[in-house]
Chains A and B, each alone.
Chain A
Amino acid sequence: EDQVTQSPEALRLQEGESSSLNCSYTVSGLRGLFWYRQDPGKGPEFLFTLYSAGEEKEKERLKATLTKKESFLHITAPKPEDSATYLCAVQAYGQNFVFGPGTRLSVLP
């Protein structure tokens, strides 16, 4: 059974304090690993897709990396507007997305 765990459950950072969020997964035949951002009262917003180990994607202050067992979302010099829940999801071939529980990020000014 495909499984996704995320750590930490919650993270509080000062503005400018860089950190990383972890997504660990087990899946039979990874088709893609996805990162989403979710703001309160909103649906998840797509950030990145990673397909194979060693791949990296960047968008503004965010960089996602992938290994065979986990993915990291690195946040460089975060700003308060980066506060949100970050969700990781995996998709196996022919299967639906399986989401992790998310990491709630708070960036304090």
Chain B
Amino acid sequence: GAGVSQSPRYKVAKRGQDVALRCDPISGHVSLFWYQQALGQGPEFLTYFQNEAQLDKSGLPSDRFFAERPEGSVSTLKIQRTQQEDSAVYLCASSPLGQAAGGYGYTFGSGTRLTVV
């Protein structure tokens, strides 16, 4: 597709429920990033993939968060046993270059708004 696609757009989960958020990056993009954006704040880094390899997961807030990109294209962010503090917009971004290339603006999707009740 022409842009980064994320689904679902909105997700309401009961506390303790597991959720899976999907990201379809731009075709051929090497790098894929997940960010978490709380209301009124800037995005915060969660994790980074270069192709299928997860090279950096330092931003994942707890072991309840897990991300994968098994074939180097579509990625899934999974949150187990959701808690109220997980409520946020989860943004996916992709780039045609590896992170080491640097200096290249990422293309973001519209995000998934997760509300945990």
Contact = CB atoms under 8 A, between A and B. Distances in A.
B56 A91 contact: no
Contacts, number: 60
A41 B113 CA distance: 9
Contacts of A96: 33, 45, 48, 56, 59, 99
A99 B93 CA distance: 14
Nearest to A9: B40
Interface in B54-74: 56, 59
Given A34-B105, A96-B45, A96-B99, A43 B33 contact: no
A99 B107 contact: no
Interface in A35-58: 36, 41-47, 49, 51
B42 interface: yes
Contact of A31 (B4, B35, B102): B102
Contact of B102 (A4, A43, A89, A93): A93
B44 A51 contact: no
Contacts of B102: 31-32, 91, 93
Interface residues of B, number: 26
A102 B108 contact: no
Nearest to B101: A31
- Give the 8 A-B residue pairs with the shortest CB-CB distance, closest first: A43-B108, A99-B42, A46-B105, A32-B103, A31-B102, A96-B45, A44-B108, A99-B43
Interface of A: 4, 31-32, 34, 36, 41-47, 49, 51, 87, 89, 91, 93-94, 96-102
Given A43-B111, A46-B105, A99-B42, 5 more contacts: A31-B102, A42-B110, A97-B33, A100-B42, A101-B42
16 contacts: A31-B103, A43-B91, A43-B108, A43-B109, A47-B105, A49-B103, A49-B104, A89-B42, A94-B99, A96-B45, A96-B56, A98-B45, A99-B35, A99-B43, A101-B40, A102-B41
